[in-house]
Chains A and B, each alone.
Chain A
Amino acid sequence: MPAIRIQSLCKRYDGTAVVDGVNLEIPRGEFFGLLGPNGAGKTTTLRMLLGLTPIDGGQVDVLGLPMPEGEREVRKRLGIVPQFDTLDPDFTVIENMRTYAAYFGLSGPAVQTRIDRLLEQVNLNDKRGARIDALSGGMKRRLTLARALINEPEVVVLDEPTTGLDPQARHHLWRQLRQLRASGVTLVLTTHYMEEAQELCDRIAIIDHGRIIACDAPSRLIAEHIEPWVLTVGGTDAGEVLERELGPKDRAHQVADTWLVYTADPDRLRERLRALGREPTLREADLEDVFLKLTGHELRD
């Protein structure tokens, strides 16, 4: 039995399909990433997974239970890190943990021990008595994660957990997530940071306009969907130069005043450009290149 199975899932708002026939199967123990531009249907899909949005079509099973009928039983066994902070500002750190535990019907000395261990794990032990508004953004996120683990969940769902965090806080959170993965927990993550998804996830689905347009391991997505190398060329007239020099299989794309050239054979082009007095930079293609190729470069709001 997979941790999550989604079949032909649909959701419409005012006649517009926001989720339009999504199929997904996430086996137990996998670290799964759901990527997509704003409005692509990520959060709506997650909400249907959690029983927070009525399903218009298709079927969602979590831990073998149909949603939303199984919402209580499923959420008992799930940990959720929402996109927006839902910590209780009327309580201190430790009170937040205790109150949240009580929502699961958990109390007593065993839970207190678990709370101590979780606060230790996220480096918040010396903040036990602190008010929530005295915590930094990173501390709040760590507390939110600790809180989500209070019921020793089998599946943890994280909706953009690192948005707004500094690199130190982000790396700290990554370490926590890797530990969870190592302990056998299934993780489902949405993020706008491609290097984060590439770094953490076993498998990634890219979703756009309510449909999954690619789903595979990050390395295979890169191998299948994009040329292996990217040359970055600056200068306003780079376009004209590239028009003459581009190989038949190369692709060039303008972003602001620089050009990105996707190519399997960067050496020839790089030499040609150097001879013309340009200094192109060369890097390996990554998940962000795949993402932009599949979902386009236009702004989404």
Chain B
Amino acid sequence: MPMSGDHPILPRPSLRFVAVWRRNLLVWRKLLVPSMLGNFGEPILYLLAFGYGFGRLVGDLDGMSYMVFIASGIICSSAMFTASFEGMYSAYTRMAEQNTWLGMLATPLTLDDIVFAEAIWAASKGLISATTILVVASVLGLVSDARALLALPVIFLASFTFGALALVITALARSYDFFLYYFTLAVTPMLLLSGVFFPLQELPDWVQTLALALPLAHVVEIVRPLMTGSWPTSVWPHLAVIVGYGAAAIILATALIRRRLLR
């Protein structure tokens, strides 16, 4: 098979991936204002509108104010959105529209380096977005203590997973329109069913089972306690789901993109 004939199945990125990551960072710095508006302005609007508007109707949830509840959820969902966007629209532009990756392949970089760098970059953007929201949330008095900082490495890992999943979709995409399938069939259901806006327990059992089969619910399960001044009841099973999705996605994305570009 041309796909695996000359390459091992598993990705073998090298430290050279940092140069690709830095390239994306430099471009991002040039477009800082519009980029931050999208990644940060929108979630803050959701937080304020739902928190203040809806929060008055809801009162307390799980022993915390609705504003606190939703702040910890929106940190997770904004990381998912930011990393997914980066792994789809932006990565696709670099792959298919601007031939950026093709240019990189004329240097000692390999496709494994590039795909890995894109996933790490998506993770970085998810982290940037979550961090800015965390700052705003703590200014608004919605964060209990310094334990919230422990949420950030979890967010980084989760963003890597969402970025890698998005890269799988990018590998299969023939145009930007294709991403709507993934947003409608995966990202939006995760957003609504993973305990971001209301507790997972409110949903029928089978929906809960479905939600727990997807990564976002597990991110919320770890991050919400850390942001609200307690320890998660369990960490490793949730982390295992996030890491499992991430590992499978980066392997699949690398293999599919190799097959697409190195033919």
Interface residues in chain A, defined as those with a beta carbon under 8 Å from any beta carbon in chain B? 13, 50, 52-56, 68-69, 71-73, 75-76, 78, 80, 82, 84-91, 95, 99-100, 102-105, 148, 151
Docked Cα-Cα span, A39 to B42, in Å, equals 49
- Determine if B106 and A148 form an interchain contact, defined as CB atoms under 8 angstroms apart: yes
- Determine if B99 and A104 form an interchain contact, defined as CB atoms under 8 angstroms apart: no
Docked Cα-Cα span, A271 to B58, in Å, equals 104
Main secondary structure of the interface of A (DSSP, over half): loop
- Determine if A104 and B98 form an interchain contact, defined as CB atoms under 8 angstroms apart: no
Q: Which residues of B contact A80 (CB under 8 A)?
A: 106
Q: Which residues of A contact B109 (CB under 8 A)?
A: 103
8 Å CB contact of A103 from B3, B19, B262, B263: B19
Residue of B nearest to A99 (CB): B23
Q: Which residues of B contact A148 (CB under 8 A)?
A: 106
Docked Cα-Cα span, A204 to B123, in Å, equals 49
Task: Decide if B100 is an interface residue (CB 8 Å cutoff).
Answer: yes
Docked Cα-Cα span, A73 to B262, in Å, equals 18
Residue of B nearest to A13 (CB): B263
Known: A84-B102, A91-B27, A103-B109. A54 touches B6 (CB 8 A): yes
- Determine if A87 and B103 form an interchain contact, defined as CB atoms under 8 angstroms apart: yes
Known: A85-B99, A88-B103, A105-B16. A75 touches B108 (CB 8 A): yes
- Determine if A89 and B98 form an interchain contact, defined as CB atoms under 8 angstroms apart: yes
Known: A85-B99, A86-B100, A86-B102. A103 touches B107 (CB 8 A): yes
Q: Which residues of A contact B3 (CB under 8 A)?
A: 54
> Least Cβ distance of A286 to chain B in Å?
32
Residue of A nearest to B27 (CB): A90
- Determine if A50 and B106 form an interchain contact, defined as CB atoms under 8 angstroms apart: yes
Per-position binary interface string of chain B over residues 23-55, scored 1 when its CB falls under 8 Å from any chain A CB and 0 otherwise: 100110010000000000000000000000000
- Residues facing A in B82-106 (CB within 8 A) are 98-100, 102-106
- Determine if B108 and A99 form an interchain contact, defined as CB atoms under 8 angstroms apart: no
Interface centre among B14, B23, B102, B106 (most CB of A within 10 A): B106
- Residues facing A in B241-263 (CB within 8 A) are 261-263
- Determine if B108 and A103 form an interchain contact, defined as CB atoms under 8 angstroms apart: yes
Docked Cα-Cα span, A91 to B30, in Å, equals 9
8 Å CB contact of A102 from B23, B100, B102: B23
> Least Cβ distance of A108 to chain B in Å?
14
- Determine if A53 and B106 form an interchain contact, defined as CB atoms under 8 angstroms apart: no
Task: Decide if B237 is an interface residue (CB 8 Å cutoff).
Answer: no
Docked Cα-Cα span, A102 to B20, in Å, equals 9
8 Å CB contact of A75 from B22, B106, B262: B106
Known A13-B263, A88-B100, A95-B26; further 16 A-B contacts with Cβ < 8 A: A53-B262, A53-B263, A54-B5, A68-B6, A72-B110, A80-B106, A82-B106, A84-B99, A85-B99, A86-B100, A88-B98, A90-B98, A103-B19, A104-B107, A105-B19, A148-B106
Q: Which 10 A-B pairs have the closest CB atoms?
A: A86-B103, A80-B106, A103-B107, A54-B6, A86-B99, A90-B27, A102-B19, A76-B108, A72-B108, A54-B5
Docked Cα-Cα span, A78 to B109, in Å, equals 12
Task: Decide if B2 is an interface residue (CB 8 Å cutoff).
Answer: yes
- Determine if B108 and A105 form an interchain contact, defined as CB atoms under 8 angstroms apart: yes
7 contacts between A and B (CB under 8 A): A55-B5, A71-B110, A72-B14, A86-B99, A90-B98, A99-B26, A103-B19
Docked Cα-Cα span, A240 to B33, in Å, equals 75
Q: Which residues of B contact A87 (CB under 8 A)?
A: 103
Known: A68-B6, A86-B102, A89-B98. A75 touches B107 (CB 8 A): yes
Docked Cα-Cα span, A99 to B106, in Å, equals 13
Known: A68-B6, A104-B107. A54 touches B27 (CB 8 A): no
> Least Cβ distance of A219 to chain B in Å?
33
Q: Which residues of B contact A54 (CB under 8 A)?
A: 2-3, 5-7, 262-263
Interface centre among A69, A78, A88 (most CB of B within 10 A): A88
Residue of B nearest to A55 (CB): B6
Docked Cα-Cα span, A262 to B226, in Å, equals 86
Docked Cα-Cα span, A88 to B2, in Å, equals 29
- Determine if B102 and A82 form an interchain contact, defined as CB atoms under 8 angstroms apart: yes
Docked Cα-Cα span, A290 to B16, in Å, equals 46
Q: Which residues of B contact A73 (CB under 8 A)?
A: 108
Docked Cα-Cα span, A55 to B99, in Å, equals 23
Q: Which residues of A contact B106 (CB under 8 A)?
A: 50, 75, 78, 80, 82, 86, 148
Known: A52-B262, A53-B262, A54-B2. A88 touches B23 (CB 8 A): yes
Docked Cα-Cα span, A88 to B102, in Å, equals 11
Docked Cα-Cα span, A100 to B100, in Å, equals 11
> Least Cβ distance of A289 to chain B in Å?
34
> Least Cβ distance of B27 to chain A in Å?
4
Docked Cα-Cα span, A56 to B105, in Å, equals 20
8 Å CB contact of A52 from B5, B22, B27, B105: B105
